Structure 1
Amino acid sequence: MRIDIITLLPKLLESPFADSILKRAIEKGLVEVHIHDLRKYGKGKHKKLDDYQFGGGAGLVMMCEPLFESIEDLKAEREYDEIIYMTPDGEVFNQPMANTLSLKGNIMILCGHYKGIDQRVRDELITKEISIGDFVMSGGELGAAVVSDAIIRLIPGVLNDESSALTDSFQDGLLAPPVYTRPADFRGLKVPEILTSGNFPAIDDWRHEQAMERTRLRRPDLLED
């Protein structure tokens, strides 16, 4: 997989891909992540990327020309399965969407800023619009990092135990059950006996029951879905 991210703030995206699972995935050659500085497409002496919106109103809008040029330059090098725009009014990101995107080959992510991008870019070039929740952030960079992390960890070979991803919250429409590790007795706080019984069918049943109960209490909307 290759992920290209277009951003006004490339340094903001350096850290998420420089540590832990994402770093190892890149080093193993399982994924390429390329950060592209939109500023080089800026116009005029000051590399302008934004302007006031037609019709008046507060806030600046990212201009058509730099965005078209940056996206078209990348498209000239390869075909993209998705060109994603991170925006609060996009489809809310979830695990099924991450699963689907993890099967793609080439993905481009555009990070918005200010009041957003000129609608013509969205109409002509963007294939998918994603939000990470019902709130507004200063820009799309952290959202792009969140989406990339969720996708990359699903690529075969990225996790040491690939079955781990299959038991994460939301994979089966439920929240994950509680988990425990050593010691079995810590200051009188004991691990449920079923987990140390060695009866794995019974353990599976217990975990499913716990997942159902946790979902019922914390996210009943998932059960409704």
Structure 2
Amino acid sequence: MRIDIITCLPKLLESPFGHSILQRAQDKGLVEVVVHDLRAYAVNKKKQLDDYAYGGGAGMVMLIEPIDKCISALKADRPYDEIIYMTPDGETFNQQVANELSLKGNLIILCGHYKGVDERVREHFITREISVGDYVLSGGELAAAVVSDAIIRLIPGVLSDETSALTDSFQDSLLAPPVYTRPVEYKGMTVPEVLLSGHEKKIEEWRFQKSLERTKKRRPDLLDD
């Protein structure tokens, strides 16, 4: 997989992809993440990326031309399965969307800024719009990192234990069950006996019941779907 991220502020994305699982995935050659500085495609000497909105109003709007130039340059090198725009009014990102996108080959993610992009970008270049929640961030970089992380960890070979991702919360519309590790007893707090029994079927039954209980209590909406 290759993920190309287009941004006005590339340094914001240095840390998320330079550590832990995301770094190891790139080192293994399982995914390639390339961050593109949109200012390299600016159309004037001032490296301007935004301008006032037609019709007036507060805030600036990202120009269409630099975005067009960047996307066109990327598409000239390879085909893309999706060109995603991170925006608060997009479809809500969830585990099902992450699963779907993890099966793709090449993705472009455009990070918005200011009051957003010229609407013509959304109409003519973007194939999918995604939101990470009903709130507004200063830009789309953190949201792009969240989406990329959720996608990349699902690629076979990225996690040392590939079954781990399959038991994450939301994979089966349930929250994950409680987990425990050593020591068995700590200051009077103990691990449930069933987890120490070695009885695989009973352990799976316990985990399912705990997942169901946790979901009913914390996210009953998941059971309504």
**TM-score category of the 2 structures, normalised to the smaller one:** over 0.9
AA in 2 matched with 1:119: E
Match of 1:164, as an amino acid?
A: S
The equivalent residue for 1:212 is 212
Partner of 2:100: 100
- In the alignment, structure 2 segments of 5+ residues that lack a partner are none
Show the counterpart of 1:11: 11
Q: Which residue of 2 aligns with 1:74?
A: 74
Distance of 1:157 and 1:42 partners within structure 2: 38
Match of 2:152 in 1: 152
TM-score scaled to structure 1, two decimals? 0.99
Deviation at 1:43, TM superposition (A): 2.4
**CA–CA distance in 2 between the matches of 1:54 and 1:220?**
44
CA RMSD of aligned residues (A): 0.6
Deviation at residue 40 of structure 1 after TM alignment? 1.1
Normalized against structure 2, the TM-score is what? 0.99
Say which SS state the counterpart of residue 46 (structure 2) adopts.
Answer: coil
Partner Cα separation in structure 1 for residue 99 and residue 156 of structure 2? 12
Percent of matched pairs sharing the same residue: 70
Q: Secondary structure at the match of 1:16?
A: coil
Task: Report the alpha carbon displacement of residue 118 of structure 1 after superposing the two structures with TM.
Answer: 0.4
Aligned counterparts, 1:48-87, within 5 A: 48-87=48-87
Distance 1:80 1:165 in 2: 25
Q: Which segments of structure 1 move beyond 3 Å, counting only runs of 4 or more?
A: none
Aligned length, in residue pairs: 225
Which structure 1 residue ranges, 5 or more long, are not aligned?
none
Aligned ranges 1:162-173 → 2 under 5 Å: 162-173=162-173
DSSP-derived class of the 2:173 partner: coil
SS in 2 for 1:100: helix
AA paired with 2:89? D
Deviations along 1:77-102, whole A, 9 cap, x unmatched?
A: 11000000000000000001000100
The residue correspondences of 1:184-195 to structure 2 (distance < 5 A) are 184-195=184-195
- Find out whether 1:114 has 2:138 as its counterpart: no
